[in-house]
Each structure stands twice: as C-alpha cells, then as structure tokens.
Amino acid sequence: MTKANFDWPNLDFGYRDTDRNIRFTWRDGSWDDGVLTDDKTIPLHMAATCLHYGQECFEGMKAYEKKDGQVVLFRPDENARRLIRSCEKILMPPVPEAMFLDAVNRVVNENRRFVPPHGTGASLYIRPLMIGTGAEVGVKPASEYMFLIFVTPVGPYFKTGFKPMDLIVEENVDRAAPLGVGDVKVGGNYAASLRAGMPAKAKGYADVVYLDAKEKKYIDECGPANFFAITKDNRYVTPQSPSILPSITNMSLITLAEEMGLRPERRPVPIEEIFEFTEAGCCGTAAVITPIASITWHDRKAVYCADGKPGKNCVELYNKLTAIQTGDQPDPYGWVKTVPEA
C-alpha cells in the first residue's frame, strides 16, 4: 500500500478528504449493516431533528501506526461507551458497543493509506457522529437516525503542539450547565463555546478556562479538553464537576500519574488554586497533553513556564502516554487495540 502524499510532520488539526466513510441508518427500531461510501455529503430532510433541535452527538479518537506497520486504536471501547451515554442523554438510539468497534475497524481499514507514518507525530483522527434524520417539527426525538464515521489525518490541535500555551479565564460565558449536557459530547456544547473561544483567540490566547456555571468558583474545562495540574507536594489535581466531559485521556493520565508517584485528586478545584500549582495542562484526544504556560484571571496571571518549557511532570506524562498510544512502549493496561486487516 502506498501512503497518501502529505507533509506528515507538519499537519495541523484540519479536515482533509480521505477515501471512504461509513454510515448506518436506524429505522423501525433497528440499525442496518452500514455502507462504505466515498460521498462526502449527506442527503438530509430539511425538517431533520439534528438541524432544528440539536439531536446530534459525536466522538473523537485516533489511530496510530506502530513501528511494525500495524494500526492501533487507543481505548476505543471507552469511546463506544461514551457515545452510548451521549445518545441516551438526548434520546437517540444508542449504537451498540460491538457495532461501534466494528464500524471503526471497517472505516480505518478502508483508509489505511491515510494513517500517518510512525514517528511523524501525526495520527488518523476518527470522528464518529450520530444525527437525528427523521423529519419532525414538534420538539420530540426523531424516528430515524444516521450513525456515520469519517477519518482525517491530523497534527496537533493547539498550534503550539507540545509547547506551552496561554489561557484566559472566561467568567461571562458558560459552556454547559450542571444539570445540562456538559458531561456528554453533543454539538450544542461546542456551538455554545464559540462565543468564548473566538474572542480569546483574537486576543492571543490559545483558548479559555471555563468556571462552573452555578457558583463561578471552580475550574470546569479548558477549551475542548480537561484541565489538570501538579502541586508542589506531587499531587495530580483534576476537576470534578457534573458539567465536564469525562476525558478518556485524563482517565489514562490518572493511571500513569499514579505510576509516577503522583497522588491523583479528582475534586472541585477553586480557581484561586491556579496560583499554587507548579505545572498545569490540558488533555484530550485532540489536545493530547498541551502544557499551559499561563492562566490570566482578572488582572492576575498564574505563570507555569517562565522559561517557555513544559514542566518535568507534563513531559513525563506526555512521553509515557504517547509511547503507549503509538506502540513504542508496552501497554500493560490493555488500552491499545490493533485494527485487524480486512
């Protein structure tokens, strides 16, 4: 197989066409067997519930090429389970875990030439999404759905890659409410975040830190990623909140942090604590680990990397995580799954 022709080490996090996507239809109470297609567009009824009432959810995961050429996924079962939670929360029929995993394998197999070569730092981003396609005009769940997965080769989400970035606390915009849908991956949360993220970017920040919507006291998330920080006495601190997305990357970092001798703490994190941390970072599938250089809050600034370099714990966590994801280090946890060749 000849690889597609890209400048792999310099890819940004952008959409690029690949060969095929896979789509399934839910009708009369069950899913069909799915079809692979090279069509990049979707025929959609103008009254589809995804268009009017936001019946949409998605996932984000990555495939990597190992040194030996095998293609692997990182904890795809966790993405399958999170998609089920997202579907259930906005009354869409869940995609069974086995169907999800098989669909991911099928679509990756069809696009193997787009899996970035090992060692380039790029990966194949996998975007499963589910939409209500049935026509309704009243506010109710659709009677038909489409589950689709496309893939696209990507580089780092934040322009800086593994270089520290500056964030600003946004207090005047809530991305999600405590009893809302912030803990699942529905499109509306991202639409709601644009009015915070874009002005921050225009001011030179990479993204925003959100506070909890109820009390405006605790850290929720940073952009489309979870927040974590390291304390002087070697604790790995990450927010607990009903309105943040449970990150699979963060869950994995907690395991790795423990192994490094850091004590994990998942609890509400008051915003004033940013001045006590020694290191801080964002984590997620797209963000991987992106170290935080500084957080601006009102007229104060917490600075973590005065010398522009990531802290040693961020470096170690990043190296451990990416080595497991790309197959460079053994995976003692059973996180990495090989995509069987079709």
The bridge status of strand 30-31 relative to strand 21-27 is antiparallel
Site for ligand COI in 142-181 (CB under 6 A): 157
For residue 5, give both structure tokens. 């022709």
Of positions 50, 209, 245, 293, contacts ligand PLP by CB under 6 A: 245
- Cα–Cα distance, 340 to 109 (Å, whole number): 8
Using the contact rule CB under 6 A, the part of the chain among 75-83, 257-265, 283-291, 327-335 near ligand COI is 283-291
Contact 115, 108 (CB under 8 A): yes
Dig out the tokens for 180 from the structure: 């809302």
Angle (deg, nearest 10), helices 248-259 and 76-89: 140
Q: Please, are residues 93 and 145 in contact by the beta-carbon 8 Å criterion?
A: yes
Rule CB under 6 A: which of 221-280 touch ligand COI?
224
| Binder of ligand COI out of 189, 226, 250, 285 (CB under 6 A) | 285
> Which of 34, 60, 164, 311 forms a contact with ligand PLP (CB under 6 A)?
60
Q: What string marks each residue from 33 to 72 as x (binds ligand COI by CB under 6 A) or -?
A: ---------------------------x------------
Picked from ligand COI, ligand PLP, none, the partner binding residue 65 (CB below 5 to 8 A depending on kind) is none
- State the maximum Cα–Cα separation within the chain, in Å, rounded to a whole number: 60
Q: Which of helix, strand or coil describes residue 184?
A: coil
Stretch near ligand PLP under the rule CB under 6 A, chosen from 3-11, 136-144, 212-220, 223-231? 223-231
- Ramachandran sector of residue 234 (left: φ over 0; alpha: ψ -120 to 50; beta: rest): left
- Binding segment for ligand COI (CB under 6 A), chosen from 49-57, 92-100, 133-141, 284-292, is 284-292
Quick check: is 3 catalytic?
no
Q: Which of 86, 111, 249, 290 binds ligand PLP (CB under 6 A)?
A: 249
Place of tokens 């893939």: 151
How far apart are CB 89 and ligand COI at their closest, in Å? 16
Instruction: Tokens for 81, please give them.
Output: 């389970």
Q: How many helices (H) and strands (E) does the chain have?
A: 6, 18
Catalytic residue among 62, 185, 320, 337: 185
Token pair for residue 31?
């899913």
Q: Which listed option, ligand COI, ligand PLP, none, makes contact with residue 221 (CB within 5 to 8 Å by class)?
A: ligand PLP
Q: Write the interaction track for ligand PLP spanning residues 274-293; mark x where CB under 6 A is met and - where it is not.
A: ----------xx--------
114: region left, alpha or beta (phi > 0 left; psi from -120 to 50 alpha): alpha
- According to the binding rule CB under 6 A, does residue 284 interact with ligand COI? yes
Q: Which is nearer to ligand PLP, 176 or 305 (CB)?
A: 176
Q: How far apart are the first and last CA of the chain?
A: 14
Alpha-carbon gap, residue 169 to 196, rounded angstroms? 10
Q: Write the DSSP string, 267-309.
A: E--BGGGGGT-SEEEEEETTTEEEEEEEEEETTEEEES-TTS-
Question: Closest CB to ligand COI among 256 and 302?
Answer: 256
Q: Tell me the window of 155-163, 197-205, 247-255, 296-304 that interacts with ligand PLP (CB under 6 A).
A: 247-255
Question: Which range in 234-242, 282-290, 307-315, 316-324 contacts ligand COI by CB under 6 A?
Answer: 282-290
- Rounded Cα–Cα distance for residues 38 and 22 (Å): 9
Rg (CA), the chain: 20
Q: State the binding string over 194-213 for ligand PLP (x if CB under 6 A, else -).
A: --------------------
Q: How far is the CB of 135 from ligand COI (least distance, A)?
A: 28
Q: Which active-site residues does the annotation give?
A: 185
Which residues make up the interface to ligand PLP (CB under 6 A)?
Answer: 60, 221, 224-226, 245, 247-250, 284-285
Which residues make up the interface to ligand COI (CB under 6 A)?
Answer: 60, 157, 190, 224, 284-286
